[in-house]
Amino acid sequence: MEKEIICTVCPRGCHIKVVGDDKNVQSLEGYGCKRGVDYATAEFISPVRILTTTVKIDGNDADLLPVRSNKPLPKDKLFECMEIIRKTSVKLPIKQYDVVISNICDSGADIVASKSVL
Amino acid sequence: MYNINCDVAVIGGGPAGLAAAIAAKKEGAEKVLIIERDESLGGILQQCIHPGFGLTRFNEELTGPEYYSRFTEEVSSLGVEVLLNSMVLEVNDSEKTVICVNKEYGMTKVVAKSIVLAMGCRERTRANIVTPGTRPAGIYTAGSAQRLINRQNIMVGKKIVILGSGDIGMIMARRMTLEGANVVMVVELMDYLAGLTRNKVQCLDDFNIPLKTSHTITKIVGDKRVEGVYVAPVDENKKPILEKEEFVACDTVLFSVGLIPENELSKNAEVEICPVTNGPVVNQYMQTSKEAIFACGNVVHVNDLVDNVSAESEQAGKYAARLAMGSFPEKEKEIAVKTGRNVRYTCPHKLIKSNENEKVNLYFRVLAPEKSVKLIARCGEEIISSKKEYRVNPGEMNNLCIETAKISGNEIVIEALKEE
């Protein structure tokens, strides 16, 4: 399998050509630094992203609580996570970094409040 | 009229105003007041729930609410005073007053020793770029759609076309996809991306949203609701090639076509405005052409990273405080900063050589993308600061550090030279 990955570590944005299979990288071309090698390897084998969205607040239709995953999630689980978050609502007061959903989709990451709403 | 006296009055409680107020207080100004028209502090970051903030400043990837809450916490612990729900109507330089209107106090006159303008910017709209067609429901600027979705729980549409590849447009493409909408395409007039590369990767490529560069929307169609748009490629003069026009069905159009610094107050106060940035002309203290009026953040020039806004706003706050306390640097000479090869504008626009030797961070944007570039600052033929960049892009701010002691003559030229 071959994939072209645009490195997002710095603004240089190297286009890195990665060849490998599901578990291993065989070769990398076009990187500019060591950080690019690490990024492209991780991005090739298991791309992850921070998920940010909002959840409803009980008894308040006009306001939302911004939330985030406390660590990056597998990219292919983002929509599955969104399904769960969509059905979630919170009670106030809530403090920044309070856990809203723990271990979402068995990813090991928690969905936490991005801010306090008192 | 209700009266408030303070040392430093800051207009705007977004990232610029917060950083300026904190810096002013830390510098020793006794009474610092933030005047904000919204019901809470944080400015536009309140609706920027996505990550990507603070990478430079905190070495962490924060969301907008996390980023601003670090500042609002400091604002309250330092005892900066805040006047919310207050719309500023006038800034008067000669009297050093700010007139605002507030529900509780009515018309309020704030008398200050120095004033910091931190009003931010607003979005360009369909009207600014004159897109032909009908005027149905379903047409938004990307930022107003962002506010509706992220703060007000109102979804704006199901099938979306976005005009402009600026960061807000791309971020909204991802946001609406995650919320179940179908983003058909992002259309960009220029032949390059307007926003940051990482946003293209994480907001468009991740969700297979096509980016059509060198294209534009030629017409919006629909009676009550948007029914679609016509999209055409453009020639080298950015004129649409109408023979190649195609219909794209959608129910919503978002415009992400740039930002304009919000300077009505500055203009009324007769602050000199730079025709390129549409913001006040400033020196390295972020001081405008009026001695007691400072300006910082997107009201001066539209930034791509909030980290830069915080840094330059701290300068504004610090020197606004020093002016208020009577300890402002003594000016020896004013140096003009000129733009040379492939430089669109610089901020600050001029430098003050004072009785202090200062290291100034000079920000600037290039006119066109280019690879293998050497950025230089020169006085005549003498290069006083330089830096190599693998690539420069109008969407990404550049900077050079300049020591004021090294400046000779009356001007500095900033250039992006092509390296052989």
CA of B64: which chain A residue's CA is closest? A114
Closest by CA to B264, choosing from B121, B124, B103, is B121
A26 CA: distance to closest CA in chain B (Å): 23
Q: What angle do CA B306, B14, B115 make, to 5 degrees?
A: 110
Query: In the structure, what pLDDT confidence band is assigned to residue B420 with cuts at 50, 70 and 90?
Result: confident
Question: CA B264 to CA B246: how far, in whole Å?
Answer: 40
> In chain B, which residues have their Cβ closer than 8 Å to the Cβ of A52?
49-51, 63
Mean pLDDT of the residues in chain A: 92
Cα(B316)–Cα(A117) distance, integer angstroms: 31
- The token pair at B68 is 């601003």
- Do the Cβ atoms of B178 and A116 come within 8 Å? no
| Rounded distance between C-alpha atoms, residue B284 and residue B352, angstroms | 7
Q: Please report the pLDDT score of residue A94 as a whole number.
A: 95
Q: Using alpha carbons, list the distances in angstroms from residue A19 to A27, A34, A44, A74.
A: 5, 17, 9, 20
Is B152 in CB contact (< 8 Å) with chain A?
Answer: yes
CATH code linked to domain B330-420 = 2.60.40
Name which of A33-47, B40-54, B221-235 the model is least confident about.
A33-47
Among B66, B151, B178, the residue with its CB nearest the CB of A53 is B178
Task: Kindly indicate the confidence band of residue A53, based on its pLDDT and cuts at 50, 70 and 90.
Answer: very high
For residue A50, the model assigns a pLDDT of 94
Separation of alpha carbons A115 and B49, rounded Å? 10
**What's the rounded mean pLDDT across residues B113-132?**
96
Q: B125-257 — its CATH code?
A: 3.50.50.60
Please list the residue range(s) of chain B that carry CATH number 3.50.50.60.
1-122+259-328, 125-257
Please report which confidence band the pLDDT of residue A11 belongs to, taking 50, 70 and 90 as the band edges. low
> Which residues from chain B sit within 8 angstroms of residue A67, using beta carbons?
49
The answer for residues whose C-beta is within 8 angstroms of residue B44's C-beta and 6 or more apart is B14, B15, B64, B120, B143
Give the per-residue pLDDT at B356: 86
User: Which residues, other chains included, contact B114 with Cβ-Cβ below 8 Å and sequence gap of 6+?
Assistant: B7, B8, B9, B96, B292, B293, B294, B320, B321, B323, B324
Average pLDDT over residues B202-216: 96
Per residue in B19-38, pLDDT tens?
999 999 999 999 999 999 99
Distance from CA of B197 to the nearest CA of A (A): 7
The answer to whether the CB atoms of B396 and A13 lie below 8 A apart is no
The neighbouring-strand residues paired with B383 are B378
ipTM: 0.91
pLDDT of residue B193: 87
Conformational region of residue B130, where left means phi above 0, alpha means psi within -120 to 50, and beta covers everything else: left
pLDDT higher than 90, residue B55: no
> Which letter does DSSP use for residue B242 in this model?
G
Task: Kindly list the residues from chain B whose CB atom is less than 8 angstroms away from the CB atom of residue A64.
Answer: 150-153
Q: What is the pLDDT of residue A14?
A: 85
- pLDDT tens for B364-380 read 999 998 999 999 999 99
Residue B176 phi/psi, 5-degree rounding, is -75, -30
Query: Which of A58-72, B133-147, B284-298 is predicted least confidently?
Result: A58-72
Which of B66, B178, B391 shows the shortest C-beta gap to A114?
Answer: B66
Q: What percent of chain A has pLDDT over 70?
A: 99
Whole-number pLDDT of residue B385:
96
Contacts of A12 in chain B (CB under 8 A): 390-391
Q: Where in chain B is the domain with CATH 2.60.40?
A: 330-420
Strand pairing of B331-339 and B411-418? parallel
pLDDT value of position A108: 94
Q: Tell me whether A11 touches chain B (CB under 8 Å).
A: yes
Residue A52 to residue B49, Cβ atoms within 8 A: yes
pLDDT at A62 over 80: no
Per the CB < 8 Å rule, is A115 touching B206?
no
Please judge whether B64 and A66 are an interchain contact, meaning their C-beta atoms are less than 8 angstroms apart. Answer: yes
Which pLDDT band, with edges at 50, 70 and 90, does B195 fall under? confident
Q: B1-122+259-328 sits in which CATH class?
A: alpha beta
Count of CB atoms situated within 10 Å of the CB of B334: 12
A110: Cβ–Cβ under 8 A, 6 or more apart, which residues? A69, A70, A99, A100, A101, A102, A103, A104
pLDDT tens by residue, B254-269: 999 999 999 999 999 9
Q: Any CB–CB contact under 8 A between A54 and chain B?
A: yes
Number of H helices, E strands in chain B: 8, 27
- By Cβ distance, the residue of A50, A62, A82 closest to B51 is A50
Asked if pLDDT for residue A9 goes beyond 90, the answer is no
What value does the mean pLDDT of chain B take? 95
Q: Of the spans A15-19, B247-251, B302-306, which averages the highest pLDDT?
A: B247-251
- Is B399 an 8 Å CB contact of chain A? no
| H or E stretch covering A93 | none
Look at the block and give the residue holding tokens 């669109």: B344
Q: What is the pLDDT of residue B197?
A: 83
What CA–CA distance (Å, rounded) separates B271 from B291?
A: 10
Domains and CATH numbers, chain A: 2-45 (no CATH), 52-113 (3.10.530.10)
Cα separation, B295 vs B298, whole angstroms: 9
Q: Do B150 and A64 touch (CB under 8 A)?
A: yes
Share of chain B above pLDDT 90, in %: 91
Decide if A64 and B153 are in contact by the 8 Å CB cutoff. yes
pLDDT at B3: 95
pLDDT at B393: 86
